[in-house]
Amino acid sequence: MTGPRFDRYDWAGGRETMLRFGPDAGPLVVAVLPLFEEANRTRAFLVAMLRALAGRGIGSILPDLPGTGESVVETRDLRLADLRQAFAALVGTLDVPVYAVTIRSGALVDCNASLAGRWRLAPQAGDDLLRDLKRIRAASTMPDEGAYAGNSLTEALLADLRDAVPYDASRTVRLESDPRSADARYPGAPLWRRSEPGTDAALAQALAADVAGWIATCGG
């Protein structure tokens, strides 16, 4: 099967939903959205990337991790270890080479998984994520204790994020406007900064081609 279809996976905390694209055989991408509000802004874009990968014969999975999407876990009950454990559990069920593709703070999730490679778009460390969350909260016209852009986050989770850093990447990609170190740069706007969800078809195609070429060089 190559069309998008829903599936489920199990981890120690329960059963979660995931969306599959492309073939089940061969190298497989497991993609991770940014955490919290940026996930809403970039989901359509990441789905466009995964559809483009399917068109190149590469299958992928976009999981709802604990506290995200349709998960039964509330964000107020979430710890960073839950995200990492669920991701690793999903990867552990797959009997093909698995490559992580992450956007921004999604790079904080895959450190415990056994992967053939890690591809990052604009990876974000936990302390930088916390600064963004605090800025959003400060700008809110209706601040709510413990709430960050509509997400109820505990002090324990915030402490988890404070010292969290991404596992070393196999390949790091950034936008041309980002001066930090990268293996490649592409023109485009940072969709995670927009006030509303959006996508960029040209950038999605370009990044899918980058991922496909990288997997090929990794021996996938």
Average pLDDT of the segment spanning 85-96? 96
Question: How many Å apart are CA 51 and CA 134, to the nearest integer?
Answer: 34
pTM: 0.93
Predicted pLDDT of residue 138:
74
37-55 and 201-217 helices cross at what angle (nearest 10)?
Answer: 60
Question: Thinking of the domain 5-125+166-210, which architecture would CATH place it in?
Answer: 3-Layer(aba) Sandwich (3.40)
Predicted pLDDT of residue 24:
87
pLDDT in tens, 128-186: 999 988 887 776 655 565 567 677 888 999 999 999 999 998 999 999 999 999 999 99
Pairing of strands 147-148, 117-121: unpaired
pLDDT band at 39 (very low <50, low <70, confident <90, very high): very high
Predicted pLDDT of residue 21:
97
Question: How many Å apart are CA 86 and CA 7, to the nearest integer?
Answer: 15
- Please list, residue by residue across 35-45, b when 16 or more beta carbons sit within 10 angstroms of its beta carbon and e when fewer do: bbbbbbbbbeb
